[in-house]
Structure 1
Amino acid sequence: MTTCTQTADLKAKLFRGFSDPSRLSILNALRNRPLTVSEIVQQTGLNQSNVSNHLSCLRCCDLVVREQQGRFVYYELADIRIATLLDLADELLADVAKGVRQCSHYEPSSINRLSQCSSD
């Protein structure tokens, strides 16, 4: 495999981490400050089990880190550039939302199949 192909494959894998609505919701919740699982649950509306599973995936991919503070565990974005990437996505989406909304190539069923957190 060429370096260009390897880079494209790795980039696609990175973006799969952002492609799941639950993971994206968690990353968005962590944009401003570190949060506990309970706070993430409250902000995202996801259940605790779902949040914990997705946090595990995001930690595995080095997108989120955790820090123990007393009896609480706080999660935060591993790199400020993740928040910047989310900000850029918001800006881009503001300009292309109509086309994205009408696009039939990325239906939720195909996205969910591709967005599983795995070690491949």
Structure 2
Amino acid sequence: MQTIDLDTKVKFLRGFADKTRIQILESIKEQEKTVSQIVEDIKGNQSNISQHLACLKGCGIIVGRQVGKYCYYSIGNQQVRDLLTMFDVVLQEVQNDVACCERHID
């Protein structure tokens, strides 16, 4: 397996390190959606969500598929979908510790 540059790894992980981006990923985890559908799902601001979608797409975490005037967003590949599932699995074990952590408070 090829060694990944540490800065690239950190940049990739930052793609997941935002509440709105996680909400977007959860919204499209099982099926592709348009921006409007995502906005409705997470009760967000379209402009803000569009910026987060651009970030996620730029990092290769999601992909967009243009159909007429609509762009449908989905998870970029099965490994990213598996990673989102693994976050949930790991958090089941450590969620109380994470919730009590005072080093990373929003």
Whether these two folds match at TM > 0.5 is yes
Counterpart of 1:75 in 2: which secondary structure? strand
Question: Identity rate of aligned residues, in percent?
Answer: 36
**Matching of residue 78 in structure 1 with residue 76 in structure 2:** yes
The answer to which structure, 1 or 2, has the higher relative contact order (CA under 8 A, 6+ apart) is 1
Which SS does the other structure have where 1:86 is aligned? helix
Q: CA deviation at 1:10?
A: 1.8
The structure carrying a bigger helix percent of its residues is 1
- TM-score normalized with structure 2 length: 0.90
Segments of 4+ moved more than 4 angstroms: none
* 2:31 corresponding residue in structure 1: 33
Match of 2:33, SS state, is coil
User: How many angstroms does 1:8 deviate by?
Assistant: 2.5
| Residue of structure 1 in register with 2:12 after alignment | 14
Give the unaligned 5+ runs of structure 1.
Answer: 109-120
How far the C-alpha of 1:82 sits from its partner, in A, is: 1.1
Q: 1:44 aligns with which of 42, 45, 48?
A: 42
Residue 24 in 1 paired to residue 35 in 2? no
Q: TM-score under structure 1 normalisation?
A: 0.80
Name the Cα RMSD after superposition: 1.6
**Count of paired positions:** 105
